Structures are given as structure tokens and as C-alpha cells.
Amino acid sequence: MGYRVVVAGATGNVGREMLNILAEREFPIDEIAVVASSRSQGDQIEFGETGKMLKVQNIDNFDPAGWDMALFAIGSEATAVHAPRFAAAGCTVIDNSSLYRMDPDIPLIVPEVNPEAIDGYKKRNIIANPNCSTAQMVVALKPLHDAAKIKRVVVSTYQSVSGAGKAGMDELFEQSRNIFVGDPAEAKKFTKQIAFNVIPHIDKFLDDGFTKEEWKMVVETKKILDPKVKVVATCVRVPVFVGHSEAINIEFENEISAEEAQNILREAPGIMLVDKREDGGYVTPVECVGDFATFVSRVREDPTVENGLVLWCVSDNLRKGAALNAVQIAELLGRRHLKKG
């Protein structure tokens, strides 16, 4: 016996990827429903590459009673309306928005890092999926933290435009095309031209000068990994379609060498170590697209601090940063609690 699963926001980038991954991983499904806003009602969407077409239903009219779980990719505003409704009907919500991440009664889960925290989901029947940049970083940090106890993390991100949705991807494509033919490259989705440029600004600015994206990385890492770890982030949008990259400086309480870290990461769940000290012996966003793994390269010792490492981390943000992590949470929920399939 399998699960009755809802994918909310199925017509967006992340929602489509959720459907692809559910199909790829052969998640035990008895019945699946796809829902979205009234604009998409009646549209047809394929369930991965199975050939099975699903008709999009209007989420406003959808009755969640009798459904086991719903994977949400509909944004915070719509989530605030529908997540409590689904949860109250007995359908566990796995939410990809930022709405519930820092709610103390709602677990924030990366299955490779804090699977036991999912046991608290029954308080609200909602589970939160972290920010895409946070997800890949904590997967890389967790095994190293277990080995040598992390004190401080300094991270600079290089985030693809897909993190801003279809509008962000369209803007990069249109601006690039316009520049090649000599037309104006007007900024609409982003605050400045993104084609052939980098923008040190993701989400809105806070009073302390950091952006909300940077704040998310700090507080989410503390909630998922360890509240004692100090984190500071600089988040940058780059002209890459899919795949987030991060340069991470880590300071530890205990001694750890680059070789020890490589050995640990090589065996860690969810990580693929590609670290050859030669031309091309590392992973870039182009190579990570469509892959489940979080890739780590360029592991080296930081000579400016005691017990310090530096590494490069790359992942498909639509997968591990969003859709894959949500499906992994669904799998974890099934194994630990619902026990179907």
C-alpha cells in the first residue's frame, strides 16, 4: 500500500521538479493530485517521464481530507492560507516556502543532517524545507561538525537565477540575447542587469545591512545544525541558470586536516567529493544540474586561523535545495511515522 500525495504549485519550476523526483525515486504512491492557482486549473502536466498526464486542480477548491501528505511549492502568501487547512484535515504538509522555517513548533529538516527532528511534526502537522543555499551547506558541514566541532562559518554564495523562479531565468535569457544584438538589457526581476554581471543582493535589505537571504542562512543553519555555530553570509546572484555554488570558510574547535576532511566527506551521505588538484578537477554548476548529490571540491587548510578549512560546494538548487529535499523528507516521514509502501 502506498501514499496519497498532493503536489501544490505543480506548474512552477520546483513543483515540476518534485513530480520528476517522485517518479525517478519510485516513491510509493497509490494516488497523486496536482494543484495550483485558478490560473492553471485544467492544465495537463506529466508525472515525471512516466507518460502519465495529470490534470491541474484549483487549490482553493481542493479537499485535502484523506490525503497522506502534500508537497508545497506555492510561496509564503498562499501557504499561509492553505497549509493550516491541509494540516487540519490530516494531510501532512512539507512546505518549501520560508513561512514556517523558524517556527519553534515546526521542524526544519535536511534528512542527512537532522532526521530525528522530524518527530516533532505532529504539533502542527507541518514540516519546513530550508532555503536552498542553507540545505546544500549543512549537508557539507554536518559530517565535519561531527568530527571536529565547528565554531564559525563564513560563506559567500554564487546563486543561480532559477532561485528567483521562471521570471529570473527568463530575464537572464532575454538580457543575454538583447546584449548580443545591441538592444537594451532592462532589469525587471532583478535590481540590476544580471546578464554578464553579478549582483550582491538577494531578497530585501534588513536594518543591519544584511539581506534576508543572508539572515536565512544564519538562522536556519543554527536551527538545523547547532545553535552554537556562528555564521556570516554574503549572498550573490550570478548569471547561471541552475546550480548554486558556495565558498565556505570553516573554523573548528578541534584539529582537522584537509586530508581527514576529504576522507570524511568521501563517505558522507548525500555528498560527492570531486577534489583533484589539477585543471578541471572540481565541480561547477553546469556539471551538477540534474544530479541528486551535493558536490564538494577544493578542500584545503586555512592558514589564517587555527583549525580552519576552506571548501567549494555546488548543488542543483532546484533539486537538493528544494524538490529533492522535500521528497527526502516525505521518504523520512514514511519510514519513521506513516509506514506505508
Residue 76 labeled ligand binder: no
Within a domain: residue 167?
A: no
Number of other CB atoms surrounding residue 276 within 10 Å? 10
Same domain membership, residue 151 and residue 54: no
What is the pLDDT tens value at each position of the chain, 341 positions in all?
899 999 999 999 899 999 999 999 999 999 999 999 999 899 999 998 888 999 999 999 999 999 999 999 999 999 999 999 999 999 999 999 999 999 999 999 999 999 999 999 999 999 999 999 999 999 999 999 999 999 999 999 999 999 998 999 999 999 999 999 999 999 999 999 999 999 999 999 999 999 999 999 999 999 999 999 999 999 999 999 999 999 999 999 999 999 999 999 999 999 999 999 999 999 999 999 999 999 999 999 999 999 999 999 999 999 988 999 999 999 999 999 998 86
pLDDT for 321? 83
Same domain membership, residue 142 and residue 112: no
Same domain membership, residue 155 and residue 36: no
Same domain membership, residue 146 and residue 108: no
Same domain membership, residue 266 and residue 144: yes
**CATH value at residue 154:** 3.30.360.10
Residue 159 labeled ligand binder: yes
Catalytic residue among 82, 91, 235, 244: 244
DSSP-assigned beta bridge partners for residue 156 = 234, 247
132 in active site: yes
Over the stretch 292-317, which tens digit does the pLDDT of each residue have? 999 999 999 999 999 999 999 999 99
Report the C-alpha gap between 32 and 29 in whole angstroms.
7
Domain count, the chain: 2
pLDDT for 1? 80
Residue 269 labeled ligand binder: no
DSSP string across 148-211: H-EEEEEEEEEE-GGGGHHHHHHHHHHHHHHHHHT-----SSSSS--TT--BS--SPBPTTS-B
Same domain membership, residue 333 and residue 309: no
Residue 114 labeled ligand binder: no
Residue 211 labeled ligand binder: no
Residue 16 labeled ligand binder: no
**CATH value at residue 112:** 3.40.50.720
Over the stretch 44-95, which tens digit does the pLDDT of each residue have? 999 988 889 999 999 999 999 999 999 999 999 999 999 999 999 999 999 9
List the alpha helices (DSSP H) in the chain. Answer: 13-24, 75-88, 132-148, 165-181, 212-224, 258-267, 285-288, 324-333
Within a domain: residue 302?
A: yes
Within a domain: residue 188?
A: no
Q: List, as own/partner pairs, every contact residues 292-299 make where C-beta atoms lie below 8 angstroms and the sequence separation is at least 24, other chains included.
A: 292/319, 292/320, 292/324, 293/320, 294/136, 294/139, 294/140, 294/270, 294/320, 295/271, 296/140, 296/265, 296/271, 296/272, 297/273, 299/258, 299/261, 299/262, 299/265, 299/273, 299/275
Query: Are 323 and 18 a contacting pair, CB within 8 Å?
Result: yes
pLDDT for 49? 85
Catalytic residue among 132, 235, 288, 313: 132
Within a domain: residue 119?
A: yes
Q: Residue 80: which domain range?
A: 3-129+322-337
Within a domain: residue 172?
A: no
Within a domain: residue 57?
A: yes
Same domain membership, residue 250 and residue 205: yes
The grid coordinates listed for 9 are 504549485
Within a domain: residue 184?
A: no
Same domain membership, residue 286 and residue 243: yes
pLDDT for 270? 96
Same domain membership, residue 218 and residue 276: yes
Same domain membership, residue 112 and residue 251: no
Same domain membership, residue 286 and residue 153: yes
Within a domain: residue 231?
A: yes
Residue 134 labeled ligand binder: no
Residue 2 labeled ligand binder: no
Same domain membership, residue 330 and residue 251: no
